[in-house]
Chain A
Amino acid sequence: MISTAGSLRLALSDVVDPEIPTVSIVDMGMVGEIVLDDAGRVDVEILPTFSGCPALPIIAENVRERLARESGVREVRVAFVFDPIWTTDRITDQGRERLLAFGIAPAPLTRGRTLPMIQKQIVACPFCGSTRTTMENLFGPTPCRSIYRCAECRNPFERFKAL
């Protein structure tokens, strides 16, 4: 089979964020344009999530390694782009479900609204679904997550920050 931009995008469904190993970078909305030329050279745009994310070089390496296994691919170049910028709205429905299954409440959709309005929304516990939850710390174990606690099932949990 000859590779196309579409088949390469599909192949990238195998590449995950090492800190959230159940969600692919495609579902995270991190994959931008993919261009494949006649010489087998592939240019892939990756939209970084948080700018201080230490996982980025690992993700770039995994993208190169995964695409190099596709037919007709000779060279893979990964570029980090900030136009458009990544926002949590880019996470797909499937990505949001998988975050939830991993125990992380997904970020609310901002739909262009400003972040201060978003942060005040009610958050459902990813374990029991209760909305009797409180934020314990805006900052969590990684820059992309806050820490919450559920008053119902008493579990602490993480929530992806709206960005």
Chain B
Amino acid sequence: MNNPPILDPKVRAALVAYLLPWADDELILGHRDSEWTGFAPILEEDLAFSSIAQDELGHAALIYHLVADLTGENPDHLALRRPANAYRHAPLVERPNGDWAYTIARHYLYDLADSARLEVLSGSSYGPLAGIARKMAREEHYHRLHGEMWWERLAAGTNESRERLAAAARAVTPLVGAVLGGTDGQEILVAERILPGIPAGLAADWRDLARPFLIALDPELGRLPDEAPEPRELRPASADFLALHAEMTMVSASGLGERW
């Protein structure tokens, strides 16, 4: 049986700082996905988004468990008992779903950024992280197939569907890079090969994946600025997130029955 490797306290702190925003991204996007359950435009999409939501929450749980193994905290508490202003997700994932085109554009572009991140993390020198990254990458394959199918369908559908997708892509594209932003002490993780890539490199990988889809909508959209993403910093909770947080934590905060 292999126990997780023991990390130097500085490395451990840097790893926790890197993992938490990522777990928060997955948790919150998963919650947004789950809002389509029962409301999607067709039954197939009710199923698809429910499944995708379940996958994203599963991924969040894997990462929170990894954090909990490092800090001794309770993974459920990390996910659902923190105050709203302690979450570190990127603004992209907290935005309300909007219309179907916005939902697809936001999710697909996030999935491409997540793919770039998972590809790099699959080669992490920290075994437990490499393991869950490889696991998630295989599941994300199906999300990408789904997103790609819808992207093409909306882009090649009616003028209205194409216009709506283009408008959504214009609104979300500038927000995607932040998902790959650097975190406190990240240089230590890069030096240790726990994170075998730098934010600028990850952002470039994401742009390469996304560019053909954006160009297919509007050549102007494909001109993605070649810049490193802003570091991920704690932001005051937005009104959108306060509402989502209240709903997401309601059952957990009720304190009724701790067993499921």
Contacts and interface: CB of A to CB of B under 8 A. Distances in A.
A137 B1 contact: no
- Tell me the dominant secondary structure on chain B's binding face: helix
A50 B142 contact: no
A32 B44 CA distance: 35
A159 to B, nearest CB: 12
Contact of B136 (A51, A79, A116, A119): A51
Contacts of B82: none
B135 A52 contact: no
Contacts of B146: 138-139
A15 to B, nearest CB: 19
Contact of B47 (A51, A54, A140): A140
A163 B139 contact: yes
A82 B58 contact: no
B142 A138 contact: yes
What is the size category of the interface that chain A forms with chain B? 20 to 34
Given A50-B139, A51-B139, A139-B48, A83 B58 contact: no
Given A35-B1, A51-B55, A82-B128, A87 B48 contact: no
Contacts of B135: 48, 51, 82, 85-86
A21 interface: no
A115 B138 contact: yes
B132 interface: yes
B51 interface: yes
Contacts of B58: 50-53, 143
A52 B61 contact: yes
A152 interface: no
Contacts of B128: 82-83
Contacts of A43: 1
Given A50-B55, A81-B131, A83-B127, A136 B61 contact: no
Nearest to B145: A138
A112 interface: no
A79 B1 contact: yes
Contacts of A93: none
Nearest to A54: B54
A141 interface: yes
A14 interface: no
B50 to A, nearest CB: 8
A85 B2 CA distance: 14
A86 B134 CA distance: 10
A17 interface: no
Interface string B36-79: 00000000100110111011111101100000000000000000
Interface string B173-189: 00000000000000000
B138 A45 contact: no
A143 B56 CA distance: 11
A81 B186 CA distance: 26
Contact of A139 (B47, B131, B138): B47
Interface of B: 1-2, 44, 47-48, 50-52, 54-59, 61-62, 127-128, 130-132, 134-136, 138-139, 141-142, 145-146
Given A86-B135, A140-B51, 19 more contacts: A35-B1, A45-B1, A50-B55, A51-B55, A52-B55, A52-B57, A82-B128, A82-B135, A83-B128, A85-B138, A116-B141, A138-B142, A138-B145, A138-B146, A139-B47, A139-B50, A139-B146, A143-B55, A147-B47
